Amino acid sequence: MQTYSGKRIFQGEDRYHSTLDLIRRSAKRYPNAPAYMFRRKPNSKVLIRSYSELLADVEALGTALQQHFPGRPHIALLGENCYEWAVSYNAVINGVGVIVPIDRMTPQGELLILLERSHSEVLILTPKHLDLAEKALNAVPSLKTIIVLDPVSPYRSAVKIPEDQPYIRYTDLLTEGEEAIALGCKAYTDLVPDPDIMATIIFTSGTTDQAKGVMLSLNNLCANVYNISGSLRLFPGERALSVLPLHHTFETTAGMLVMYYYGVCICFNDGLRYFPNNLVEWKINVMIGVPLLFENVYKRVNDSIDKSGMTNLVKVMRPVARGLAAVGLQTNRTLFKSVLDGLGGSLRLVVIGAAAMDKHIHQAFIDFGILFLQGYGLTESSPVVAVGTEKLNVPGTIGPPLPGVEVMIDAESSDGSTVGEILTRSESVMLGYYENEPATHDAVDADGWLHTGDMGFIDSRGCIHITGRCKSMIVLTNGKKAFPEEIEAKLNNIAGVKESYAWGQRNKRDAIDICVKFQLNRSELPLADPKDNAAVAAYLKAAISKINAGMPGYKAVRYFIFTEDDFIRTTTLKIKRKEEEKKLAAWLSAQGVYMHDIDGQFVHIS
């Protein structure tokens, strides 16, 4: 097996060992430069926080939290993207305790279990989630305190918080910290946190009792930031639009910490419906995103080109611009100025992660003059493993490994083009799974190689190609990941369902829908006439709706079919997933239909 290591294209700055050091660096170099731009609600006043203000807020909050909660407690963080989320994250992770970011879309029951599993003692949340607070205090034995990010509401005075002990306002803590620092308290500001111990727990996708808590250290995160700086070049004062949720490691590391490293201004998106306006209004230079977002941007660009009657001309100009670029003549941004103006005129760098980008769309953005790169990573590697660069950007690949990152293809042949499981090793590889030693040993071997569960190969240029998944994970177009076993476990509890099989199926729009095939035991259906297929379909649809309501929206079942035929099975009676999926795909193709066309129908697939 051959090992591939990334090489630095850019020298980068010094290596830092805490996220607070990253903020301090930019606050020293660019004290008055904006670190954040945001609104409390769409179309309201734009608020700006400089790097010196960001540093002051993090140190003040950290000082107060350290006084209130000694002993490095586990502190959960729940809420929409906002400045106060970022301040809280950085204050906690730099020595106060272990930060536990949680997806704000997590169903309430699952969220309470994650709070309990993480042994969280404090929950920091935005006012939108205040209704959860009392339930959490009653249901989670370890939880003792709720901190409310009260400035997040555009009507701060309207945020009603119980005045008893378990509730504390963020603004009160900030004031306490500022006063303590003014009186000479340096307990937090002089603290040098241990970079090698657990600093955060991030729960991966999965069922409530199967979701793994990834343990990362400050060294894991800062190593990833430093390694990214060897592949990407950003400039102080540039503006980055933050769209992805901050609880996601891709956004935390690449969309926040990397921006601190370079002194970039982070602009919080007003909402997806305002995304095009924010691009133009704030003249965004840099974006971290997922394929679905830019597939929609591409469609909008194409529609605009069609309406202007320039489609044929653009088809001619794109290969011309590509050819000129190949010989060093960068004319793209001049030739396609009208396209770029529609995106704000300043967008120059986009990094896509979480799922594969259509290579034709990838190439189109390159032709328009945008450095459009595909990246790859996973939470367990903090998260970035590989990314295209301005020197090696091949659509259809995830680029070469980051500098400081080793990648190996676990295949029988040493031929670089042989497909095998992608393994990675670096300082960014996790400490392990929280309270789950067996899963840790399965994921990281004795030599420190993280087994990613993804299959692929490395070509002669050093670019990594992903060819599939080792496991059955469904990767949706927006980058979200769903586990069919989780969905099936819920569906199999429906009376009359013998077994179910969930899979991801492409629809007419080339997006992935979660679909299900039920194997029925009609005699157990609670229906007056279990042979009435219309009644069965209505019954199953109602049952699915209830199950969907208890899961995040991206895991929802869209379409289903039912049958009395058995699945293709192994000798141990497990469903052969790949064979079942191939059989379904072949049948759908032969029928000339999509799942949408046969939703809720009884089928017999020979």
pLDDT score of 593 more than 60: yes
pLDDT score of 591 more than 50: yes
- When comparing pLDDT for 138 and 359, which is higher? 138
- When comparing pLDDT for 455 and 59, which is higher? 59
Work out the pLDDT band at 221, boundaries 50, 70, 90.
Answer: very high
Rg (CA), the chain: 25
Work out the pLDDT band at 572, boundaries 50, 70, 90.
Answer: very low
List beta partners, residue 499: 519
For range 225-233, the mean pLDDT: 96
Strand order in 512-520's β-sheet? 497-506, 512-520, 559-563, 601-602
Tell me which residue of 259, 348, 364 sits closest to 315, measured CA to CA.
Answer: 364
For range 299-309, the mean pLDDT: 86
pLDDT in the model for residue 293: 85
Q: What gap in Å lies between CA 543 and CA 521, rounded to an integer?
A: 16
Give one word for 122, left, alpha or beta, with left for phi > 0 and alpha for psi -120 to 50.
beta
pLDDT score of 573 more than 60: no
Helices in 389-501 by DSSP H: which ranges?
437-443, 484-491
Question: What would the pLDDT profile of 430-462 be if each residue is shown by its tens digit?
Answer: 999 999 999 999 999 999 999 998 878 999 999
pLDDT score of 473 more than 80: no
Q: What gap in Å lies between CA 101 and CA 85, rounded to an integer?
A: 10
Work out the pLDDT band at 269, boundaries 50, 70, 90.
Answer: very high
pLDDT score of 205 more than 80: no
pLDDT in the model for residue 570: 60
Q: What gap in Å lies between CA 117 and CA 138, rounded to an integer?
A: 15
Greatest extent of the chain over all pairs of C-alpha atoms, in Å: 79
Question: What would the pLDDT profile of 79-124 be if each residue is shown by its tens digit?
Answer: 999 999 999 999 999 999 999 999 998 889 989 999 999 999 999 9
Work out the pLDDT band at 415, boundaries 50, 70, 90.
Answer: low
Element holding 386 (H helix, E strand): strand 384-387
**CB of 271 closer than 8 Å to CB of 226:** no
Length in residues, the chain: 606
| Residue 392 burial (CB count, 10 A) | 16
pLDDT score of 152 more than 90: no
**CB of 532 closer than 8 Å to CB of 601:** no
Question: What would the pLDDT profile of 494-547 be if each residue is shown by its tens digit?
Answer: 999 989 999 999 998 889 999 999 999 999 899 999 999 999 999 999 999 999
Q: What gap in Å lies between CA 402 and CA 6, rounded to an integer?
A: 5
**Neighbouring residues of 486: CB distance < 8 A, sequence distance ≥ 6:** 206, 207, 210, 555
pLDDT score of 26 more than 80: yes
Work out the pLDDT band at 468, boundaries 50, 70, 90.
Answer: low
Distance set, CA 35 to CA 52, 53, 244, 558 (Å): 9, 9, 18, 41
pLDDT in the model for residue 560: 98
Backbone angles phi, psi at 493, to 5 degrees: -85, -5
Q: What gap in Å lies between CA 576 and CA 224, rounded to an integer?
A: 38
Q: What gap in Å lies between CA 599 and CA 537, rounded to an integer?
A: 9
pLDDT score of 316 more than 50: yes
Work out the pLDDT band at 216, boundaries 50, 70, 90.
Answer: very high
pLDDT score of 204 more than 90: no
For range 317-328, the mean pLDDT: 88
pLDDT in the model for residue 469: 64
Domains of the chain are 18-194+239-281 (3.40.50.12780), 286-469 (3.40.50.12780), 474-602 (3.30.300.30)
For range 570-576, the mean pLDDT: 61
- When comparing pLDDT for 13 and 183, which is higher? 183
What is the three-state SS of 115-179? HHHCCCCEEEECHHHHHHHHHHHHHCCCCCEEEECHHHCCCHHHCCCCCCCCEEEHHHHHHHHHH
Mean pLDDT for the chain overall: 91
**Among 348-357, 433-442, 596-605, where is mean pLDDT lowest?**
348-357
For range 44-72, the mean pLDDT: 97
Tell me which residue of 429, 485, 408, 445 sits closest to 214, measured CA to CA.
Answer: 429
pLDDT in the model for residue 13: 73
Tell me which residue of 428, 367, 433, 493 sits closest to 196, measured CA to CA.
Answer: 428
Return the half-sphere exposure (C-beta side, CA atoms, 13 A cut-off) of residue 481: 18
